[in-house]
Structure 1
Amino acid sequence: MSYDAIDDAFHFISDAPLGERRALVHRPSGKVFLASLKAGFDECPAGADTDPDYLPIPHRQELDPGKPLVLEFIRDNCPAELARVEGFFNRPGAFRNVKDLLRRRHLLDNWQIFEMQQMEVLLKQWCLAQGLMS
């Protein structure tokens, strides 16, 4: 099974709003099928939605730990801002406010690298839990 194909499909669906795109992996062959409602194409075989051999690849929002990931980064990179960042999550716009803070502290690039690495770890854990990798 190719992790790269699953990773590519994960990014394909995660680059659109939740539900707009989907991807299925065929467990026995490892082949990945893509679909996009907006673009009007669907590579998925008929009946794949009810066939247990086909597994939907999750959207980023389904794997993203959100606030705990942000707080982990803040604790490791600017712990003096921890209380402030926790306060952001008590009102709307928390992630925008966090990114603004990180931009002002010149940590936005570090955050993006950290977030990308953590999402890769989470996707690999999902693959292991689904028996797609060993």
Structure 2
Amino acid sequence: MAYDKIDDAFHYISDAPPGERTAAVHRLTGQVFLASHKAGFDERPAGSETDPDYLTIPHRQDLDPGKPLLLEFVRSHCPAELARVEALFARPGAFRNVKDLLRRKHLLANWQIFESQQIEALLRKWCTAKGLPL
């Protein structure tokens, strides 16, 4: 099964608010079916919602560890800023403010690479847990 198809569908779903787009993968064939409630199309076969051979691909928010992932990055890349970053999470706009801090420290690109790698690892772990051979 091609991981790229699942990854593409994952990004398709995650580029919209949760619930606006969905995707399913057929466990046996690896075929991916997309749907967009807003655009009014649905490629999923009838009955796929209840068929155990079809798995709904998760939205990024379903996999994204959020704050713990960001704190892990800070611990490993700029540990001197950990207390400051933790304090930022006590106020609204924490992620924006932390990203501003990382930008000033010239670490934003490193964060984006780290985050992307971790999300990919989580999606691959999801595939393995669901019995999807990659």
Q: TM-score scaled by structure 2? A: 0.96
Higher relative contact order (CA 8 A, sep 6+): 2
Q: Partners of 1:68 and 1:133 in 2: how far apart? A: 28
Other structure's SS at 1:34 match: strand
Which amino acid in structure 1 is aligned with residue 40 of structure 2? G
The Cα offsets for residues 84-120 of structure 1, whole Å up to 9 and x where unpaired, read as 1111222221111111111111111111011001111
Q: How does 1:64-75 map to 2 (within 5 A)?
A: 64-75=64-75
User: How far apart in 2 are the matches of 1:90 and 1:50?
Assistant: 42
| Structure 2 residues not aligned, in runs of 5+ | none
Extract structure 1 runs of 4+ deviating beyond 6 A. Answer: none
| Aligned residue type for 2:17 | P
Alignment of 1:95-106 (within 5 A): 95-106=95-106
Give the letter aligned to residue 79 of structure 1: P
TM-score computed with the length of structure 1 as normaliser: 0.96
1:14 corresponds to: 14
Root-mean-square deviation (CA, aligned residues, Å) is: 1.0
Q: Which runs of 5+ in 1 are unaligned?
A: none
Q: When the two structures are aligned, how many residues end up with a matched partner?
A: 134
User: How many angstroms does 1:133 deviate by?
Assistant: 2.1
Counterpart-to-counterpart distance in 2, 1:42 and 1:57: 14
Matches within 5 A, 1:1-134: 1-133=1-133
> Identity of paired residues, percent?
75
